[in-house]
Amino acid sequence: MIYDHSLEREARKSLQRLLPRVEQTLKKEISKDKKGWKQFNTRLQKNFPALFNLYFEIYNDRYDFFYHLEDLLISIARSWFNRPIDLRELDATREKNPLWFQSNQMLGGVCYVDLFANDLEGVKSKIPYFKELGLTYLHLMPLFKTPEGENDGGYAVSSYRDVHPPLGTMEQLASLACEFRRAGISLVVDLVFNHTSDEHLWAERAKAGDDEYADFYRIFPNRQLPDLYEQNLREIFPEEHAGAFTFFSELFNEGGWVWTTFHSYQWDLNYANPAVFNRMAEEMLFLANQGVEVLRLDAVAFIWKQLGTGCENLPEAHTLIKAFNAVARIASPSLVFKSEAIVHPDDVVKYISPGECQISYNPLLMALLWNTLATRKTDLLSQALATRFKIHPETAWVNYVRVHDDIGWTFSDEDAAMLGINGNDHRRFLNEFYRGRFTGSFSRGLPFQENLATGDCRISGTCASLAGLEKALHEEGAPEVELAIRRILLIHGIILTVGGIPLIYLGDEVGTLNDYTYRDDPAHERDSRWVHRPRTDWEKYEKRNDANTVEGRVFQGLNMLIDLRKQHEVFAGGELEIIPTENEHVLGFTRIHAGKRAVIFANFSEQPQMVSSRVIEQYAIQDKHILHGQSSISPQRYLSLEPLDFVVFG
């Protein structure tokens, strides 16, 4: 065991040994770009000890450790030489303002290239719309080369360097990133690094019997180890295949079992092999050099496997992500990582730190917003915001109500138990409620990955359909439509003000309903998430400024909330305090930033509610301006809240 200080010394010594070899290999590049080399060297000297530490932690028992380290350094340096000047300038700007993503101007959006606008040129033509909405961050769903037919919505990547041909080319993506930057929008794409598609060149070579590439994956000649592993593994897509392995007859002579956490055509990579880390680091820097500013690290929880464990959220997964982060700090310093860990809240936060993922989905807030709409009780949500919302001051949550995936009820059973709620029973209730099977439910959702053995499932559906708009429009009438719209605006109000980056799943801003036609498409029929992935209906968008339409009411309501956020600096950063409102239906919190304070109340019930004069006086709300909402303070100084109202004082 080497102690930290001596590890630092070893790191310096290793760099001294390696640098001349790197310089020798890259002689030509260095002589052409001396200034670039100097910049690179400065960042390398600063960040190499961290990288060395992390790489050493994972790979120190490899006889060929030093070989892979040199290989990594050369590819990092090479990527830097390929980094365009404008991105190098962006690097310098962001190093001066590393907390740019905490601004109240930030507003995220996410969409599929093909479903939203056919192809990359189409997306470019929508820039005026993105600006109208106020987006400063746009996540384009996986747009890389992917198998025809089933491909998990692009999450089965066949090449990280090619755009899926119907969508366009890598050159077009780079040019789009440039146009976005000019429009003040950061391009976000996925780094699907837990697995590749079984059509990726690495997988093809493994299939052809090339040992070097077979080592890129976790392939077993028989069931012996898979059986042992499976004793501790959760099934992720049980409707598609049981367990975590898939048999492929073309492997070895008698066939072999490949680790496939998700679908059978998504082969998990083997990060115990340093070559996999090095090649993926190259792909990562390649994407950064196209102008991608934020990488959404897909399925972070699964990247390390260890016999005898559940193979999720293992310490080595963090070490690996930190090592990728150290690589980025050296050769694409403006790059930000976003964690996609849809797991227990104790585990979600472990991915978030300046040295790992600077931003992260907030699946707990998402799930609890839906929970609160169903129960009309704010206790779980209040508790979560009070105890689990605070993260490192140099990081930020990405707060959302819907994305392309299902809703999993990932709250903590221990937290629920403190409020007298049984986690399992409650999840069952939420599933029934959102499937529309619970009496009085307003929701029209579908089950996803229902596990008939355990009775477990997750929920699919668009924001509007889950919030009651579909049922109200088709079966009820104007008053219920109004309530559904208020629900949509209420939960968006929270993500826009609570602190962090709000993320809108495009389509939700015009109240898009479920689309059941996925059932007619053989590539989608088995995956209910497609119910909330419809092709964009631009006629709906045309109604967005007409207050007599549902689309217009949702869009304009949302716009007011976006303006509220952008006009008040108090919504920057992430500092929040919960207000005990003494009313179980009303969530209350204050936001504090730059010496300013805003107070927010959200009524999750369809009935009027009140907040007592004591609370109003304690927070001096009577002296503040009402910045948003319909409600008012009575002459007796209590706050009377309209049904499902979202009120902001500042």
What residues make contact with ligand GLC under the rule CB under 6 A? 152-153, 155, 192, 236, 262, 298-299, 340, 342-343, 404-406, 408
Distances (CA, A) of 139 to 54, 108, 264, 398, 503: 29, 8, 26, 12, 9
Rounded to whole angstroms, the Cα distance separating 10 from 179 reads 44
Nearer to ligand GLC, 121 or 413 (CB): 413
Nearer to ligand GLC, 367 or 598 (CB): 367
Minimum distance of ligand GLC from residue 531's CB (angstroms): 13
Verify whether residue 340 is a known catalytic residue: yes
Minimum distance of ligand GLC from residue 155's CB (angstroms): 3
Give kind and range of the element (H or E) at residue 610: strand 609-611
Nearer to ligand GLC, 197 or 590 (CB): 197
- Do 137 and 106 meet the contact criterion of CB atoms below 8 Å apart? yes
Minimum distance of ligand GLC from residue 571's CB (angstroms): 27
- Do 84 and 332 meet the contact criterion of CB atoms below 8 Å apart? no
409-412 contacts, C-beta under 8 A, 24 or more apart: 409/367, 409/371, 409/458, 410/342, 410/343, 410/344, 410/345, 410/348, 410/363, 410/364, 410/367, 411/345, 411/364, 411/367, 411/368, 411/371, 411/380, 411/384, 412/344, 412/345, 412/346
The one catalytic residue among 240, 298, 415, 527: 298
- Strand order across the 576-579 sheet: 576-579, 586-593, 596-603, 646-649, 626-628
SS3 state at 576: strand
Distance spanning both ends of the chain, measured CA to CA:
55
Minimum distance of ligand GLC from residue 235's CB (angstroms): 10
- Do 422 and 387 meet the contact criterion of CB atoms below 8 Å apart? no
Backbone dihedral angles phi then psi of residue 407, each to the nearest 5 degrees: -95, 120
- Do 483 and 502 meet the contact criterion of CB atoms below 8 Å apart? no
The one catalytic residue among 199, 282, 340, 515: 340
Give residues with Cβ within 8 angstroms of 550, minimum separation 6: 469, 473, 481, 485, 511
Q: Output the 3-class SS for 374-411.
A: HHCCCHHHHHHHHHHCCCCCCCEEEEECCCCCCECCCC
Minimum distance of ligand GLC from residue 405's CB (angstroms): 5
19-24 contacts, C-beta under 8 A, 24 or more apart: 21/70, 22/70, 22/73, 22/74, 22/77
**How many Å separate Cα 244 from the centre of its chain?**
23
Report residue 486 as tokens.
């208020």
Nearer to ligand GLC, 194 or 382 (CB): 194
Nearer to ligand GLC, 152 or 645 (CB): 152
Minimum distance of ligand GLC from residue 392's CB (angstroms): 22
- Give the CB-nearest residue to ligand GLC: 155
Minimum distance of ligand GLC from residue 153's CB (angstroms): 6
Q: Helix 274-289 crosses helix 315-331 at what angle (to 10 degrees)?
A: 40
Nearer to ligand GLC, 152 or 283 (CB): 152
Q: Which of 210, 195, 190 is nearest to 259 (CA)?
A: 195
Nearer to ligand GLC, 256 or 408 (CB): 408
Rounded to whole angstroms, the Cα distance separating 111 from 503 reads 11
The residue behind tokens 């108090």 is 570
Nearer to ligand GLC, 141 or 326 (CB): 141
- Do 551 and 512 meet the contact criterion of CB atoms below 8 Å apart? no
Give the dihedral sign, CA 54/58/63/67: negative
Minimum distance of ligand GLC from residue 342's CB (angstroms): 4
Minimum distance of ligand GLC from residue 299's CB (angstroms): 4
Nearer to ligand GLC, 296 or 543 (CB): 296
The residues annotated as belonging to the active site are 298, 340
